[in-house]
Structure 1
Amino acid sequence: MIGLAKACSGGGTLGNYVMDKEKGYELDRNLLCGDNPKEIMEEIKSMQELNQRASNKTFSLVLSPDIKDGQKLTNKELKDITRQYMGKLGIDPDKQQFVAFVHTEKKHKHIHIIANRVQTNGKLISDHHIGKRAQWAAHEIAQERGLTSAKQIMIDNVKSVESQKDNFKSLRKEIFNKHESVIKMNPKGFNEYQKSMEKLGIKVDTVFNKKGIVQGHKLTDKLSGQIFKASEINRHLGLSSLMKPYTPLEPIIKIAKLIGKSNDMGY
């Protein structure tokens, strides 16, 4: 369920749009006798003459149930949640002029409400943060009545994304730890590194560009199927250096020592 609300100047355009019988049907009204949009808006305007200072004297509200909820809600239930919604916004449905119209021209059945902001004493009903309050009002009604809340879906989606980020962070750390454990074993080149990582459940592939030049590497966690660029695991994995021909350090050191001894002996 979604709730929308704003304070506006009202007028014939709003009345004609909301109370268009080709779009739907009237659901509820209070303190209004008019037979058409023009008469109803004139009645509202007459009451608004009690306040000469404000410009936005009308509330334009929308209450939109989830498509599936809208299909099963009865008119009585729609009327009840309309009045409940208004009450949560500080609009007394028994004291304020209002008309509620159900729009059914689309699959998504929704309720439009025109309500007078001006009270019988000439004072205005507050429109402070009316948009945000409308969202929370719809959310609360949905929770109370076991209906689908758009805000709850949004909250759940955010939590899901955050949870997924945490899982990815944990998985990246796990892959990096496996990488470090293999590096400590001093693999003899990239192929040996790949085989060692494969044994730990991580498939390492080289990515080439169209010219056949190494562009990077990707690491796949075989258990979860998640694929990461090497840079996403750590910026300094150094896999490219592993691809260079392996040259054991020990023979080089021995040769260097022999060269040194020869020089000492005058050869």
Structure 2
Amino acid sequence: MIGKGHAISQTKDSISYGWNQEKDAEVVFRQHLMGENPTEIAREFRFIQSQNHYCKNNTLSFILSPTIEDGKKLNLRDLQEICLKFTSQMKLINRQAIGFVHRDKEHLHIHLYVNRIDFNGNVYDDSFLDPRSMRTAVQVAQQMNLTTVKDVVLEKLGRLSPVRSKIRSIHDHVINRYRPKNFDQYIRHMKAKGVEVIPSITKDGNLRGFRLAYGNHNLKASEIHRSMGGGNLAIELYGRSIIRSNNIIPVKIEGTLVPIAPKLAHRIATRIASKIIKQTKGVGIEI
């Protein structure tokens, strides 16, 4: 099961979407609410939200998506239990909430809306809400013997083991035979061997990693092998020269300088520091 979450301002529109009968919507969960339609529910939310005029994104919106196979087996009581466990473990149990299941597609999913303002006017902290939603969804899935994201990934990687082995073999050949010194050289040599290396760029224009396409398959580099992840690859190609004045330098990709995303930069710096510590210990130098 996958969980996603973010804070929103359009409460009525969102609840109307959740209650959309064209999507075979059904109410599967409610807390501290009496309304029988989106307008009434939104009015009840607004009444509590009126205690805090400073919070604009005052409703929490979550999507909980079991796998297709799990979704086929879940009954109303199961869906209610998912919502109850999720809100409880997210510490949202004593707030207005309503949840809908959509069955208009093969992939059943739950839309869950929770008032970010509690009955005392306090605002729920939405820091890192999306990753927290994901972790909580995994915990709930484990408690209910449902398939987790990790289970899905492991199954996928198992099925693609021959493809992963082939791509890694090409990667090792390129590194050992051609000894590329930067990303552009690595990308060019991999392409010549039939593997397209696709940079993953953030909205801010920063490099956060790579995907590799081979035949009809497209995988994150780290899914092929952890040694091929962006951090390890950067160190393999650039060595310590990727750090200048204690900062990770931008790198050239297709002739354009691209900054390294903060998370990737942190991984690179941490791994280089770890290598330096191991090397100094190896020669008996105390630091």
Q: TM-score range by the shorter chain?
A: 0.5 to 0.7
Identify the residue that residue 35 of structure 2 maps to in structure 1: 34
Identify the residue that residue 143 of structure 1 maps to in structure 2: 142
| Paired residue total | 176
Deviations 1:26-77 (A, max 9, x none): 1111111111100110110111011111111100111111011011011111
Does structure 2 retain, via aligned residues, the 8 Å contact 1:88–1:137? yes
SS in 2 for 1:143: helix
Q: CA deviation at 1:145?
A: 2.2
Aligned-partner Cα distance in 2 for 1:136–1:107: 24
Q: CA deviation at 1:19?
A: 1.2
Aligned-partner Cα distance in 2 for 1:37–1:170: 54
Aligned-partner Cα distance in 1 for 2:26–2:171: 54
Task: Please provide the CA RMSD for this pair.
Answer: 3.2
Q: CA deviation at 1:86?
A: 1.6
Q: CA deviation at 1:147?
A: 1.4
Write the mapping of 1:72-151 to structure 2, written as runs, cut at 5 A: 72-92=73-93, 95-151=94-150
Identify the residue that residue 9 of structure 1 maps to in structure 2: 9
* 1:20 maps onto 2:20 in alignment: yes
Aligned-partner Cα distance in 2 for 1:170–1:102: 44
Amino acid at match of 2:88: G
TM-score, scaled relative to structure 1 = 0.58
SS in 1 for 2:22: coil
* 1:59 maps onto 2:43 in alignment: no
Amino acid at match of 1:58: T
Does structure 2 retain, via aligned residues, the 8 Å contact 1:31–1:96? yes
Calculate percent identity across the aligned residue pairs. 31
SS in 1 for 2:35: coil
Deviates more, 1:71-80 or 1:8-17: 8-17
Q: CA deviation at 1:142?
A: 1.8
Does structure 2 retain, via aligned residues, the 8 Å contact 1:90–1:125? no
Amino acid at match of 2:34: C
Deviations 1:183-216 (A, max 9, x none): xxxxxxxxxxxxxxxxxxxxxxxxxxxxxxxxx9
Deviations 1:67-113 (A, max 9, x none): 11011011111110111112222211xx2101111111111111111
Alpha carbons of 1:166 and 1:19: their partners in 2 closer, same or farther (altered >3 Å)?
A: closer
Does structure 2 retain, via aligned residues, the 8 Å contact 1:27–1:100? yes
Deviates more, 1:66-75 or 1:148-157: 148-157
Q: CA deviation at 1:149?
A: 1.5
Question: Is the radius of gyration larger for structure 1 or structure 2?
Answer: 1
Does structure 2 retain, via aligned residues, the 8 Å contact 1:47–1:118? yes
Aligned-partner Cα distance in 2 for 1:133–1:81: 16
TM-score, scaled relative to structure 2 = 0.54
Amino acid at match of 1:48: Q
Aligned-partner Cα distance in 1 for 2:144–2:165: 30
Aligned-partner Cα distance in 2 for 1:86–1:73: 18
Does structure 2 retain, via aligned residues, the 8 Å contact 1:4–1:135? yes
Structure 1: gaps spanning 5 or more residues: 177-215, 218-267
Does structure 2 retain, via aligned residues, the 8 Å contact 1:6–1:61? yes
Does structure 2 retain, via aligned residues, the 8 Å contact 1:2–1:64? yes
Identify the residue that residue 44 of structure 1 maps to in structure 2: 45
